[in-house]
Amino acid sequence: PPVIRQIVASLLFVVYTLLGIFSALGSRLYDRSGDTVLRLARIWSWLILSAAGVKLTVRFAQPLDPRRPYVFMPNHVSVLDIWALYVAVPIPLRMIAKKQLGDIPLFGWAMRAGRFIFIDRQNPVSARRSIDDGTRFIREGHSVLIFPEGTRTRDGKLGPFKKGGFYLAINSGAAIVPIAIRGARELMPRGQLRIKGGPVTVDIGAPISTDGLTEKDREPLLQRVRGIILEMTGEAPPSGGTDQGMA
């Protein structure tokens, strides 16, 4: 029965999360790089989605080069997005998250063990420092995940984009990978803690080069990426171009 499944899924969520957190914290004893935490995050995410009965479909516009760092930019419709992305994206990636997440006992500690990057949007100086840290991180060869909207949508529509992620991509020289997530909001709306089973689709677009771009190109780049994600989510009609690389 659905009620029993939900109870079991909720219990498994707690068990898997606690195991993941303590494994992540324990990994610091032998791995200061945080890479073990990223592998654990992928396993944890897969277990959470499987327990809830989420059926994930992943589609690529073109293969990604595992030797290159990218800045992944998805729309943000649900907490479920994070689990879907860690399963869908085949490249290890660290999330650039709001500072409040890093302050959560146990969970935030595990994220810090994975060398995630935290940003305080209420403090412009601190926020710029976090973006600069992310730039250096990417130049070292690491990929990052940032939600350009900054927070989850309230109405299901793509919100305005913040500029920090585009500054990050231009200054690091990393290509931006637009991502469209569909179905997650229906399974776990904002404000709901329970995950329903059902389909979720993650479309991973073609990388968008930032080679040769400067800060004056940031706003056009932002509008370009936002337009592509609007097309990928179905909120805007296809432009007829090949930017998004989707068939």
pLDDT mean over 198-206: 97
pLDDT at 153 over 60: yes
Percent of the chain clearing pLDDT 90 (strictly above): 67
Give the confidence band of 131 by pLDDT, cuts at 50, 70, 90.
confident
pLDDT mean over 10-24: 92
Report pLDDT for 103.
Answer: 84
pLDDT digits (tens, 9 = 90+) for 51-90: 999 999 999 999 999 999 999 999 999 999 999 999 999 9
Q: What is the pTM of this model?
A: 0.90
CB 206 within 8 A of CB 180: no
* Residue 138 CB partners (closer than 8 Å, separation 6+): 69, 71, 144, 168, 172, 173, 174
182: closest CA among 88, 107, 110, 97? 88
**Dist CA 205 CA 39 (whole Å):** 23
* CA 165, chain centre distance (Å): 12
145: closest CA among 232, 212, 82? 82
Q: Which amino acid is present at 86?
A: Y
pLDDT mean over 148-170: 93
